[in-house]
Amino acid sequence: MAVKFLSLACIRPNESGNLSPRPHYPLMPKYPKGVTVSSDEEQFVQGSEAKALFSVTGMTCSACAGSVEKAVKRLPGIKEAVVDVLNNRAQVTFYPAFVNEEKIRETIEDVGFEASLIKEEMNEKPFQVCQIRIKGMTCTSCSTTVESSLQALPGVQIAQVALATEEAEVRYDPKILTYNRILEAVEDTGFEAILISTGEDRCKIHLQVDGVCSQDSMRIIGDSLQALPGVQDINVDPELNKLSLSYQPDLNGPRNFIEVIESTGSGRYKAKIFPEGGSREAHREEEIKKYYKSFLWSLVFTIPVFLMSMIFMYIPGIKHGLDTKVVNMLTVGEIARWILSTPVQFIIGRRFYIGSYKALRHGSANMDVLIALGTNAAYFYSVYSVLRAATSPSFESTDFFETSSMLISFILLGKYLEVLAKGKTSEAIEKLMDLAPETATLLTFDGEGNVLNEEEIDSRLLQKNDVLKIVPGAKVACDGFVIWGQSHVIESMITGESRPVAKTKGDMVIGGTVNTNGVLHIKATKVGSESALAQIVRLVESAQMAKAPVQKLADRISKFFVPLVILLSFSTWFAWFLAGKLNGYPKSWIPSSMDSFQLALQFGISVMVIACPCALGLATPTAVMVGTGVGASQGVLIKGGHALESAHKVNCIVFDKTGTLTVGKPVVVNTRLFKNMVLRDFYELVAAAEVNSEHPLAKAIVEHAKRFRQDEENPSWPDAMDFESVTGHGVKAVIRNKEVLVGNKSLMVNHNISILLDAEEVLAETESMAQTGILVSIGRELVGIIAISDPLKPGAREVVSFLKSMKVKSIVVTGDNWGTANAIAKEVGIDTVIAEAKPEHKAEKVKELQAAGNVVAMVGDGINDSPALVAADVGMAIGAGTDIAIEAADIVLMKSNLEDVITAIHLSRKTFFRIGLNYLWALGYNVLGIPIAAGALFPTAGFRLPPWIAGAAMAASSVSVVCSSLLLKNYKRPKVLDILAMRGITIE
């Protein structure tokens, strides 16, 4: 499995900005000193960006990766730099006008690592993921047929079809296959296919152009747009006056397109965002209305048929009128029932004929086949009976017109209720999508950066680098960073964290969050489909598409279910018919209005319609949809049914230490000097050496050193000569003509620095208290030890204790030393510790635990722990922030909250309990219903199930399963977590 790494570094604004009450800041990109460019040149520079991939050897941890990333980003003309420490690679996006590959390579080597350029195509993606909405699927058999058809296409790596969402996700090779061919394959199976997304790595927008009177005008507009930089593809629909554009968001945006369209026609044309009608919610509403309308029309015809068959026959006056003979034995009532039931059978019930034809044409059988067979048997036998009565002076007919019409009506009612309930299972996604505000306040500036104008625009028209004004109470329209102002922002709707987060200049903000008490000006960095909110929606949608392994059981059953039901139905009819002909039961069993053939026919039809595979197919996906939606609302993003199923079996959790069990922000807690020296002077030398290092421990030391020079806002440290970063050990430099070494014990040993017995004792004492000891040598003499602690997260001990009560064993695996690791483990109550483990060793430990029969979850930060996250049965990435798409993890804990480890496991267990209950409902209806429908109780109790009641029971089974899944929306996390929150033990 390939692991994708996202840069966790925030994009910062130019520090030369002026924070005066009246906003004033530069709006141009950062260029080298002395270089000025015009707006045209700037567009050219941005349009000619390039990518380079470097192999970097020598990196051992995230601190190494951070130092490479920071050094590269300091270069002029660098747009982005992402460093993958595990695969020893660095990917850099840059502007060739200012910097080249050789300069970047030299910069990486200056940091202390070997680098070489990898010559390969950077933009080429071997696979794309296409999303399609499929109309007309009714049961698991339908989704299985479509899935098999897609899987058989050359170039398709994997195809998933979800019955509950009526969508398909196809991973395909664009070199071999086009998305149009995928749509054709769906259409060939007999269903309607609507493209949601092609999976191509570009933005797409649909515009409606008013004022166009000819196709030539649309062609001219299209040509004008095609000439714009970044526009890749344009599709024109003259009938709707619709333009669909694919473009690169770095180079262009929707407002530019509208401006070009309106200027092309000298003011005659007006353009706007095309009204969206293809969303999942719109499709669901359309389907609900369709079933509701069909059900109401069926009632118009069915109710009179029901009254004539069941009620009016007991009212003497009306009964006499209905029994009036028209031709031979044909009565008025029979003609009326025939006329009324025919539209229900062939017009309102037309969908079942179409569905049956499509299924049988491809060699499969679905719910429509069962309904069509059952209703046709009742209807055409009734027609035969009526025609025979019309041609015979003695034959008294018994019709089943009420059976066919009432059966179709109840099935339509069931489908209506099912679609209504299924719509509620995707409410989580709809709520997420509703977080994005409809409008945004766009600011425009003069050449000096002063605000000229404020304009309220549609948020869909936002472009990268726009500057937006966010007033108190308003939602943030897109991802970006603050360039002016300060406030607090509520991010609970995205991260689940309830407390407002302070935001000042340079801080990142997430689209969909709410500003509280101050005015902010933010610069847009990610808009539309690139935003964190859009990523979350895509992740949850993808999770709801993915099938849980347990669903394979339902898929296997559905392949044989319908043919088996048809066989059972004919067997039932034949058995009762044969028994009647051979006098196998008393004549008194036969109702007065029937003969043995009609009785057998009713039993056969009842069996056929009560045994429907719909409920079985909905048992798993509806529960997974609701479960993943509930998880997303609580800040726990679960990537599909497979992750859910694995999580509910977890009996062993492997915790990383730094940033997982601990806060991840080291601080200096103690200093021991072995020589007479002023502490200020000591830290001045140490900080001068460490200020050049990107390691978290070095940053902690420098921050502590600043306390001795509080009178200076940005203290300047003595110059460090011959600086050298010794990977994994520490740093070395010459400061004020003295050699200064700062690092661990091995650094001192390698440089022949003698370690005093007192120092050994201090080191041992430091490690026993879960602290890291940093040794300092000045002039080749050990001078002191700095004790650094990474505080334990509040509530970590309670979380481990509760996991133990859930029969889940906890283990610590860390790259830190044994002393610190054991001290931390003891403090949180964990018995098993593996220390001084490299990333690959963590993955090996996970595999050892799995080999011993454990179902293992790995909880880590998603970078150094990625091999273990991939190796584990369930990988939980903690501390994801806005970078939620960490590919290595199965579950993303957005609040960086240890409590959510419990929430993830507890929710998965509740979800799979609900899936088990759904299967009980689905199979229970069939296991109990089929024998009753076949007449098992008729000989003893005289009870038989009329076909229309069997149809109602079949519809009720699907509705019951969906409603059962919806009960998951009432999920409450364990009370102990609320108690921890009340005590103030919330983990930041």
Catalytic residue annotation: 656
How many other CB atoms are there within 10 angstroms of residue 794's CB atom? 16
Return the SS3 of 172. strand
Select from 64, 42, 139, 142 the least CA-distant residue to 108. 64
> What's the rounded Cα separation, in Å, for the pair 159 and 797?
43
CA atoms of 731 and 687, how far apart (whole Å):
11
**Residues 6 or more apart whose Cβ sits within 8 Å of residue 354:** 136, 368
User: Rounded to a whole number, what is the distance in angstroms from the first to the last CA of the chain?
Assistant: 31
d(C-alpha 868, C-alpha 847), whole Å: 9
**Residue 986: which of 765, 818, 835, 795 has the closest Cα?**
795
Taking the C-alpha atoms of residue 400 and residue 345, their distance in angstroms, rounded to an integer, is 12
CA distance 158 to 153: 10
Looking up tokens 């915790």 gives 655
Q: How many CB atoms lie within 10 A of CB 773?
A: 22
CA 278, distance to chain mean position in Å, is 20
Rounded to whole angstroms, the Cα distance separating 403 from 385 reads 14
Q: Mapped to the 3 state alphabet, what secondary structure does 458-515 carry?
A: EHHHCCCCCEEEECCCCECCCEEEEEEECEEEECHHHHCCCCCEEECCCCEECCCCEE
Residue 481 phi, psi (nearest 5): -130, 150
Q: Who contacts 960 (Cβ-Cβ below 8 Å, separation ≥6)?
A: 615, 921, 925
CA 194 – CA 179 distance, rounded (Å): 11
Pairing relationship of beta strands 652-655 and 856-860 according to DSSP bridges: parallel
What residue type is assigned to position 565 of the chain?
Answer: V
Q: Exposed, middle or buried, 383 (CB in 10 Å: 0-12/13-18/19+)?
A: middle
8 A C-beta contact, residue 821 and residue 835:
yes
> Is residue 54 a contact partner of residue 92, using CB atoms and an 8 Å limit?
yes
274 and 257 Cβ atoms separated by less than 8 Å: no
C-alpha 11/C-alpha 863 separation (Å) is 19
Distance of CA 221 to the CA centre of its chain: 37
- Closest C-alpha to 532, from 916, 839, 892: 892
DSSP 740-764: EEEE-HHHHHHTT----HHHHHHHH
Q: Position of tokens 């689905």?
A: 922
Cβ-contact 130, 90 below 8 angstroms? no
Strands 242-247 and 203-210: antiparallel
- Residue 728 backbone zone (phi > 0: left; psi -120 to 50: alpha; other: beta): left
CA 159 vs CA 165, 172, 179, 544: distances in Å: 15, 8, 13, 14
- Point out which residues pair with 520 in neighbouring strands: 470, 485
Any bridge partners for residue 501, and if so which?
A: 489
E strand map for 60-190: 78-84, 89-94, 114-118, 128-135, 156-162, 167-172
Query: Are 323 and 331 contacting, i.e. CB atoms less than 8 angstroms apart?
Result: yes
Q: In which element (H, E) is residue 308 found?
A: none
Q: 396-418 in b/e burial notation, b at 16+ Cβ within 10 A?
A: ebbbbbbbbbbbbbbbbbbbbbb
